């Protein structure tokens, strides 16, 4: 059985490191692959399907998507994912510092499955990331890849 994968789209190397550490310190069993900007994420999900050489399309459980990304921002990534049959059903969780009502509304309107605000407090941040990982890799059933039932 393939190990489940999380695609983390995050441009901040510190947040990336803290998120990976959080997963490592939890009981989550799965792989985390990181894309560092919106273009990289799209390229690999809709393009070659590979991020840093690994095929992510197999057993991709969830995409953790930051909103403020270089090149292509989070909402645009989300829009394109939902517009493509292959990724229309792919679970996407927005993980961002923004608390703006408009960001929350727009994310859901564009088809995000969940919206999580990154806590400033690192203990809460770690706890939050662990919750996310446990839920999406553990409890949740991944959507079939390719959008087909």
Partner 1 sequence: MTKGATRSAVVRPAGAGRRKRAGEELRGALAYAESIVETVREPLLVLDADLRVISANRSFYQAFQVSPEKTEKRLIYKLGNRQWDIPKLRKLLEEILPQNTQIEDFEVDHEFTTIGRRSMLLNARRIYRESNRTETILLAIEDITERRRAEERVVERTTQLEAANKELELFSYSIAHDLRAPLRSMDGFSQALLEDHADKLDEEGKDYVRRVRGASQRMGQLLDDLLELSRLTRAEIRREAVNLSALAETMAEELRKLDPARKAEFVIADGLVATGDPQLLGVALTNLLDNAWKFTSKHKRARIEFGASRQQPGQPVYFVRDDGAGFDMAYADKLFGPFQRLHGMDEFSGSGVGLASVQRIIGRHGGRVWAEGAVEQGATFYFTVQ
Residues near partner 1 (CB under 8 A) are 12, 14-15, 18, 21, 97-98, 118-123, 125-126
| Closest separation in Å from C-beta 103 to partner 1 | 11
Q: Which is nearer to partner 1, 85 or 99 (CB)?
A: 99
Q: How far is the CB of 129 from partner 1 (least distance, A)?
A: 11
Find the shortest distance in angstroms from Cβ 14 to partner 1: 4
CB closer to partner 1 out of 4 and 128 = 128
Smallest gap, in angstroms, from Cβ of residue 117 to partner 1? Answer: 10
Q: Which is nearer to partner 1, 89 or 129 (CB)?
A: 129
Round to whole Å and give the CA distance between 10 and 17. 10
What gap in Å lies between CA 138 and CA 120, rounded to an integer?
26
- Per DSSP (E only), the strands in the chain are 5-9, 31-35, 50-51, 54-55, 60-65, 92-96, 114-117
Measured CA to CA, the distance from residue 31 to residue 137 in angstroms comes to 10
| Nearest residue to 146 via CA among 18, 71, 53, 49 | 49
Q: Which is nearer to partner 1, 13 or 138 (CB)?
A: 13
């Amino acid at each position: 059985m393939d190990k489940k994968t999380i695609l983390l789209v995050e441009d901040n190397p510190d947040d990336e490191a803290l998120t990976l550490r959080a997963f490592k310190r939890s009981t989550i069993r799965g792989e985390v692959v990181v894309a560092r900007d919106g273009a990289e994420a799209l390229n690999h999900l809709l393009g070659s399907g590979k991020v840093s050489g690994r095929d992510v399309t197999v057993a991709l459980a969830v995409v953790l998507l930051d909103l403020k990304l270089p090149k292509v921002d989070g909402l645009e990534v989300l829009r394109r994912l939902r517009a493509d049959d292959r990724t229309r059903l792919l679970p996407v969780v927005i993980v961002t510092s923004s608390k703006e009502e408009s960001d929350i509304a727009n994310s859901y309107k564009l088809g995000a499955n969940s919206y999580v605000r990154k806590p400033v407090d690192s203990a809460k941040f770690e706890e939050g990331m662990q919750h996310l990982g446990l839920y999406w890799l553990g409890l949740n059933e991944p959507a079939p890849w390719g959008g087909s039932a």
